[in-house]
Chains A and B, each alone.
Chain A
Amino acid sequence: MLANEKFKYFVGINSLAEIATCKDRVCVLNILGNESRGVTPVSHAYSGGNVVFGTSPGRGGEVLETAAGPVPVYNNVREGLDAGHKFNVGVVYLPPAAVRDGVFELIRVNRDIEKVVVLTEKVSVHDAREIRALAQQRSVDLFGANCLGVADAWNHIRIGGALGGDKPEESLRRGSVAIYSNSGNFTTTMATYLTAGGWGTTTSISSGKDLYIHFAPAEFAHAFDNDARSKAAVMYIEPGGYYEQDLEFRKPVIACVVGRWKAKLTRAVGHAGAIAGSGDGAEAKEKWFQRILKVKGIYSPENPIVSQAGAVVTNIAHIPAALTAVMKLNGVEPDFPPEGDLTLKPWFGDNQGLPMPPELDLPLVEPFQPYKDQIAELTRQVGAVFPRESMKDRSGSSIMDPKTQVTRVSGVSILDTAKYPLASNYMLALIHEINDDNDHALFNCSVTVDVNLHGDPAIMAADAAREAGNAPNTVLAAACAVIGPRRVAGACQAAGVLIDLFGHSGLQSGDQADFDFSAIKADAAQLACLVGSTADPRAQAMLHGVEARGARSVFVDYLRSLDGHPSADAVRAAITTSICWSALMRKKISRITARNLPWYLRLAATIIGASVPGAQHKADSFCGVPTRELVSQSSATEIAYLALLGEKPTPENLFPFRVLLGLIISNGVGTISAQGCKGAVSADGPESPERVQINKAMIGFLTHTGFAHGGNGFEGIQFLIEQFTDSDLKDAGDPKHGLDLAGMGSRFALAFAAEKKARKGVGEGVRAIPGINHPVFKGQLVNKDPREVYLSHLFKERGETNVFHDFYSALVQALYDNGVTANVFCVNIDAVIAALLLKLLWPRYRSGAFSEEALETAAFTAFLFGRMVGCAGEIDDHLNRGRNMDTRTPASQCSHVS
């Protein structure tokens, strides 16, 4: 049955006023889908609650919350109808493959259906054909697909898509102009532009631009003609299809035809139907509209060609002026005074000090409301806010290059972190920037005080764990467990107070000289977080350190300026806030990170401190070195050396130790240690970041190391000891060691070959030689691990010798020369680490001061010191960006082994 005689096919809509009415009741398919979840609540509220229910198979019983009340969700349309709901409009948000069946469901199941709006993009032509045919058979008006629905500014109704965005009333102003647009976005954009000419809208239709346009320009022209509210229409038309060729209008129309350039393309970009065949390109369409609208050319401000029937434009910015000119000829004034204009108004900009010509150097313009207030509010926000996503097996902190096997932390290669001290690397992982000297000084003041755990339950827990025969990772985990949220609450709170007080003071850097903080006024509650009535010895020790080192900190100065005695927590917070201030202000890190920094520093100090038995922690000294001396002179790397080796380092010894720690900070997010700490964060729920226990995350890292991961560095040491045990080597750094390394290598190679043969004979596997060969760096005639090459150069440049490292180089050559290996294997990074560490420990081992067991503990602990850095970065990254429980593996990906 045809609804009207004008068409050879069914068209039910006779006036634009019938497209989105107050009587329409809507059912939304896939209402809980991603797009609908955001859009439907706005439509529903804007339209006074016109959605009666939605469907989502398997999720019946749920509701979609909206400002106009919850919308019930059923498994299918029939269930909704059975529950007593009635609707005449279907809205389809299904994925493309399901659209046809969805439309069929709406049409076949619901006798009352009159209109269906399909939002989905990329519906196949096959399905579009069948949808059209069924809708025709059953007398249903279709809109879309690949559209943004319809809206009526008079009725205050929006059906289907998101015309007008999240604030429809802002763009959809009541007026006299109907909009028909092949582009969903331009429907809203044109409505916005029209307000600049003083024009509001009646009905706006986003038609979509697939091959099949279900509500086509001919139907629009008919409905526009019959709509008394619409005095003019604006159409945005793209190439492709003959929909507009024979249109007839009795009221003025501005046709914007865009897409001449598309003639150059052989396929569509964006709008699937916007690709011309023969004779339906943009140029042809311009001509059609010129004929229909009785104009001899394209309108432009310079050449304003208009007629009473309308104008053709090729630039949407010209629509308001063209419309006003056409309507003037028809004696019709704009709907309201023009609002704003479309001139160029940059809200933000910067020339970066470069000389710009006037056409580029446009002065900035204040945003209009509500954006002005929003921007002011957001600008007040301190620090970055990161979008949350699943961080399982992903990291923003570290990345390993699979080709070179070199990991980068915060964008810096571990070959470079090997050159930086521990303090630098720790802050690099957390604030993504390398410390300067002032930051070093501040960092070291804090760590050197907190490393001493005299009288602290943390060292008691560690000692108890040590007594029980645990490996160092477990011992340190016991200590970390004691540095829980309550222990650091004061310092974190103080950091928060300092951020609040200085966040909008204009302070750009924590060490800014002569910063005037007289305008900073803390209230009583804030002051209570910063100062107390009695002097705190730890605070005084740190302040002494700051002074002795000549370190600058606006925040420390501020604390000193206050009445009362700064608390140790406040000084810790002042130190960390000073270091991170610049990164925080540039939104490189979040406020969460800045607030947690005292906790991270405390944990670093605890891990270093607790590696030494409690007996070494005295009221005024650590490992026999007076606290005053440590605080005013030592670096974190030196303290770590002291803790590990029991003596103060010489500069010659410190360098390789620093390299060692820097080299092992991370091996990428796939390592077990990284997975351990990330799992701990994920389980606490990073979406409530204040609840995440950073000490527990550190424990996660520690418990995810062990004799195989971290402790295995000892294998290399053991191997080297075996090789050198009969030598009379005293100093592994002495170039005149007098050893025949090539001979040693050859002897080992021959013995190894014999052993290999014997083992093969009895069917046993051949043992691997620790420190040589690598799954990636192999297969060449001579193989090199680039990390080892880099470090060899580094030491060579400094004129340093390491006899163990040299032995390894001789060994791989000897293995090849003696036919044990098919090519020259590489000396890998583990060998370098073993050589570095053994060189440091050798004198003590030889003197009998260190047993093999002590060597193993030292090797493992050194690994933990280094890896603590990378894991701190992973913890903070996951805390800022991860989702709750995002590291779990879905059951479907787990398998059972019988």
Chain B
Amino acid sequence: MQLTGMLYGAKLLKMVDFPTSEILGPEASEHEIKALIAKCGEVFVKPIFRGGIGKKGKAGLLGRAADLKTALKEKERLYFVEHRHGNVVAKSQGVTFEGAVPAEHEVYVSIADSTRYRAPTLTITHHGGMDIEELPKDQIVEVPFDPLTGLKSFVITNALSDLKAPREIISPLAQNLPKLWDLFHHNGMTTLELNPIRMSQTRPGSLTPIACDFKCGFDRDDPRVRRLNLPNELFAVDYSDFEQEINQLRTYQGQSDVGVINANGTILAPTFGGGANSLVTEFLGDDAIISSDFGGNPPYEKMRQVMRICLKHWLKQTNVLFVIGGKANNTDIFVTFRAMADALREYFSERGPTPVYVVIGRGGPNLSRGLLAFKDVVDSLGLPYRIFAYDSAMTDVVRYAQAADRWMKAGGRQMLAEKLGVAA
């Protein structure tokens, strides 16, 4: 759950009275754009990407205009522009017009929880406006601080003294940066980054830090995020229909985390436990349709619901239904297996049979009853299967599932379909 750009950034910063550049959204009229150019001298035209995606400036996705004609041309160029960074591809949904801020200095500031210090940590440099990863170590400082007292002015002044920052920026930053802690800590953020903050002489003789770009990450397990009343669709772009359906079942009891790995995959693997999830998904690679963690002892009804959604979306294309987990500690195998098997039976009775090879590997409380419950259902559905208990290496079970998938692709699916009296 990430938010980038000043369109919402400015709104959030205003909540804590942190000064921001002037900004117009995609709906701005020509008259408004013209007025902004007149006021600020020039405007930056930036595409709006949902979620987090970096390095836009480097990709030439930043327009700059000192007159309306150029501003509109840049708007046309960037309005629906596509941007690829690493594995992430994003499509712009409009542009913002941001008034230029004249400045002597550019400052980079971020607050995030650092795993090195296991505390919220301020990262700051007055060599801002560039890739901070490229800065030499002595030009940037990381300062962990106590979350019970928060980010205090002295933390900032100490850090800037260590950096030997110009005298004139210290006091305005010490006055304004502590406001960011309120925004960060009380609204469920995990990261907050302003780059650059431009130190602008808004009054003669004194500098004001003006945030000119904004990036933050939210903790999806923190209900405080709801305080901000941000529209859901800002984050919805991250989720497929399937994931959204499963997400509605997210409660603290029982994980129901999923991600779609390959929408054209052929192995449907409801996986139990974060560890099994990592291992199994790694070994299955692109054969897997989803990556999931359904552990945490989900109750029967929730598990059945989760499985129903999985089957509804994917069973038709599935060659191998692969139920896999390690030796469970507290997940009741009978409850979870019964729920999954019932969902499978329901699917067959509602939508008719579909050719699928069932592979199961699991251990844990109530194992015998759980395995037998699943066995009874696959027997009655007439599906080929192998059920392994936890004395078989999980990775070998994964390989078995892959072998079953290959066999299904090489004619097995056709044979099974004929036996079930349905089309392959």
Interface residues of A (CB under 8 A from B): 9, 34-35, 38-39, 95-97, 120-126, 128-130, 132-134, 137, 148, 161-166, 171, 181-189, 192-193, 196, 209, 211-214, 216, 236, 238, 240-243, 258-274, 278, 280, 314-317, 340-357, 359-360, 362, 367-368, 371, 374-375, 378-379, 384, 387, 389, 411, 586-588
In the assembled complex, the CB of A352 is this many whole angstroms from the nearest CB of chain B, namely: 5
In the assembled complex, the CB of A137 is this many whole angstroms from the nearest CB of chain B, namely: 7
* Neighbouring B residues of A39 by C-beta, 8 Å: 330
Instruction: From B12-20, B169-177, B293-301, give the one contacting chain A.
Output: B293-301
Residue on B nearest A123 in the bound complex, by CB: B221
Does the CB pair A378–B400 fall under 8 Å?
A: no
Does the CB pair A185–B113 fall under 8 Å?
A: no
Residue on B nearest A241 in the bound complex, by CB: B115
* Neighbouring B residues of A265 by C-beta, 8 Å: 259, 291
23 contacts between A and B (CB under 8 A): A39-B330, A125-B113, A129-B113, A132-B119, A133-B148, A137-B148, A165-B327, A165-B365, A185-B328, A188-B329, A189-B363, A238-B278, A266-B88, A266-B238, A269-B291, A271-B293, A316-B279, A352-B382, A352-B419, A354-B419, A362-B386, A362-B400, A375-B371
* Neighbouring A residues of B390 by C-beta, 8 Å: 189, 192
> Which residue from A122, A148, A350, A352 sits with its C-beta under 8 Å from B416?
A352
> Which residue from B273, B326, B365, B385 sits with its C-beta under 8 Å from A348?
B385
> Which residue from B224, B293, B349 sits with its C-beta under 8 Å from A124?
B224
Does the CB pair A348–B386 fall under 8 Å?
A: yes
* Neighbouring B residues of A384 by C-beta, 8 Å: 376
Does the CB pair A344–B259 fall under 8 Å?
A: no
Bitwise interface map of B from 125 to 156 toward A, beta carbon under 8 Å scored 1, else 0: 00000000100000000000011100000000
Instruction: From B32-40, B64-72, B249-257, B310-318, give the one contacting chain A.
Output: B249-257
A-B pairs with lowest CB-CB distance, top 6: A183-B275, A270-B293, A189-B326, A185-B273, A317-B393, A270-B274
* Neighbouring B residues of A166 by C-beta, 8 Å: 365-366
B392 interfacial by beta-carbon distance below 8 Å = yes
> Which residue from A132, A345, A387 sits with its C-beta under 8 Å from B118?
A132
Q: Taking each of B224, B327, B364, which has the highest tally of chain A beta carbons within 10 Å of its own beta carbon?
A: B327
Does the CB pair A349–B148 fall under 8 Å?
A: no
Contacts of B408-424 to chain A: CB distance below 8 A = 412, 415-416, 419
Contacts of B358-413 to chain A: CB distance below 8 A = 363-369, 371-372, 375-376, 378-380, 382-397, 400, 403-404, 407, 412
C-alpha gap A340/B363 in the complex (Å): 15
Does the CB pair A368–B282 fall under 8 Å?
A: no
* Neighbouring B residues of A213 by C-beta, 8 Å: 115, 118
In the assembled complex, the CB of A248 is this many whole angstroms from the nearest CB of chain B, namely: 16
* Neighbouring A residues of B133 by C-beta, 8 Å: 278
Bitwise interface map of B from 100 to 122 toward A, beta carbon under 8 Å scored 1, else 0: 00000000000001011011100
* Neighbouring B residues of A196 by C-beta, 8 Å: 391
Does the CB pair B363–A216 fall under 8 Å?
A: no
> Which residue from A186, A349, A357 sits with its C-beta under 8 Å from B276?
A186
Given contacts A124-B221, A345-B392, A349-B387, contact A185 B326 (CB under 8 A): yes
- Residues of B in contact (CB 8 Å), total 103
* Neighbouring A residues of B366 by C-beta, 8 Å: 166
Does the CB pair B338–A317 fall under 8 Å?
A: no
B51 interfacial by beta-carbon distance below 8 Å = yes
Bitwise interface map of B from 177 to 191 toward A, beta carbon under 8 Å scored 1, else 0: 000000001001010
Bitwise interface map of B from 331 to 354 toward A, beta carbon under 8 Å scored 1, else 0: 010010011000000000110000
Residue on B nearest A39 in the bound complex, by CB: B330
> Which residue from A165, A183, A379 sits with its C-beta under 8 Å from B273?
A183
> Which residue from A97, A133, A186, A374 sits with its C-beta under 8 Å from B368?
A374
Give 16 new A-B contacts, CB below 8 A, not counting A132-B147, A161-B330, A258-B278.
A126-B224, A129-B185, A183-B273, A188-B326, A216-B118, A258-B282, A259-B282, A261-B282, A267-B220, A270-B257, A352-B382, A352-B419, A354-B416, A359-B403, A375-B372, A587-B380
Does the CB pair B416–A165 fall under 8 Å?
A: no
Does the CB pair A258–B416 fall under 8 Å?
A: no
* Neighbouring A residues of B329 by C-beta, 8 Å: 148, 161-165, 184-185, 187-188
Does the CB pair B259–A352 fall under 8 Å?
A: no
Does the CB pair A184–B273 fall under 8 Å?
A: yes
In the assembled complex, the CB of B245 is this many whole angstroms from the nearest CB of chain A, namely: 15
C-alpha gap A267/B260 in the complex (Å): 11
* Neighbouring A residues of B195 by C-beta, 8 Å: none
Does the CB pair A124–B282 fall under 8 Å?
A: no
In the assembled complex, the CB of B337 is this many whole angstroms from the nearest CB of chain A, namely: 11
* Neighbouring A residues of B119 by C-beta, 8 Å: 129, 132-133
In the assembled complex, the CB of B70 is this many whole angstroms from the nearest CB of chain A, namely: 34
Given contacts A124-B222, A192-B363, contact A258 B279 (CB under 8 A): yes
* Neighbouring B residues of A360 by C-beta, 8 Å: 386, 400, 403-404, 407
C-alpha gap A267/B222 in the complex (Å): 15
* Neighbouring B residues of A261 by C-beta, 8 Å: 261, 278, 281-282, 285, 291
* Neighbouring B residues of A129 by C-beta, 8 Å: 113, 119-120, 147, 185
Interface residues of B (CB under 8 A from A): 1, 51-52, 87-88, 113, 115-116, 118-120, 133, 146-148, 185, 188, 190, 219-224, 238, 252-253, 255, 257-259, 261, 272-279, 281-283, 285, 291-293, 295-297, 299-301, 325-330, 332, 335, 338-339, 349-350, 363-369, 371-372, 375-376, 378-380, 382-397, 400, 403-404, 407, 412, 415-416, 419
C-alpha gap A374/B378 in the complex (Å): 20
Q: Taking each of A185, A359, A371, which has the highest tally of chain B beta carbons within 10 Å of its own beta carbon?
A: A185
Given contacts A343-B396, A347-B388, A349-B386, contact A270 B273 (CB under 8 A): yes
* Neighbouring B residues of A161 by C-beta, 8 Å: 329-330
Does the CB pair A211–B115 fall under 8 Å?
A: yes
C-alpha gap A432/B197 in the complex (Å): 70
Residue on A nearest B282 in the bound complex, by CB: A261
> Which residue from A315, A343, A354 sits with its C-beta under 8 Å from B384?
A354
C-alpha gap A145/B394 in the complex (Å): 26
Residue on B nearest A191 in the bound complex, by CB: B327
Does the CB pair B224–A182 fall under 8 Å?
A: no
Given contacts A352-B383, A356-B407, contact A345 B120 (CB under 8 A): no
Does the CB pair A133–B407 fall under 8 Å?
A: no
In the assembled complex, the CB of B3 is this many whole angstroms from the nearest CB of chain A, namely: 14
In the assembled complex, the CB of B64 is this many whole angstroms from the nearest CB of chain A, namely: 28
> Which residue from A34, A123, A130, A274 sits with its C-beta under 8 Å from B148?
A130
Residue on B nearest A131 in the bound complex, by CB: B147
C-alpha gap A95/B251 in the complex (Å): 10
* Neighbouring A residues of B295 by C-beta, 8 Å: 185, 270
Does the CB pair B275–A185 fall under 8 Å?
A: yes
Does the CB pair B185–A126 fall under 8 Å?
A: yes
C-alpha gap A265/B293 in the complex (Å): 14
Given contacts A129-B120, A266-B51, contact A165 B380 (CB under 8 A): no
C-alpha gap A375/B296 in the complex (Å): 25
Given contacts A122-B221, A125-B190, contact A350 B326 (CB under 8 A): no
Q: Taking each of A95, A211, A362, which has the highest tally of chain B beta carbons within 10 Å of its own beta carbon?
A: A211
Residue on B nearest A127 in the bound complex, by CB: B222
In the assembled complex, the CB of A844 is this many whole angstroms from the nearest CB of chain B, namely: 42
Does the CB pair A371–B330 fall under 8 Å?
A: no
Given contacts A124-B219, A161-B329, A272-B221, contact A352 B384 (CB under 8 A): yes
In the assembled complex, the CB of A344 is this many whole angstroms from the nearest CB of chain B, namely: 5
C-alpha gap A181/B275 in the complex (Å): 9
Residue on A nearest B332 in the bound complex, by CB: A38
* Neighbouring B residues of A185 by C-beta, 8 Å: 272-276, 295, 325-329
* Neighbouring B residues of A587 by C-beta, 8 Å: 376, 380
Residue on B nearest A263 in the bound complex, by CB: B87
Q: Taking each of B51, B222, B275, B285, which has the highest tally of chain A beta carbons within 10 Å of its own beta carbon?
A: B275
> Which residue from A186, A262, A411 sits with its C-beta under 8 Å from B326?
A186
Residue on B nearest A33 in the bound complex, by CB: B253
* Neighbouring A residues of B224 by C-beta, 8 Å: 124, 126
C-alpha gap A387/B339 in the complex (Å): 9
In the assembled complex, the CB of B67 is this many whole angstroms from the nearest CB of chain A, namely: 38
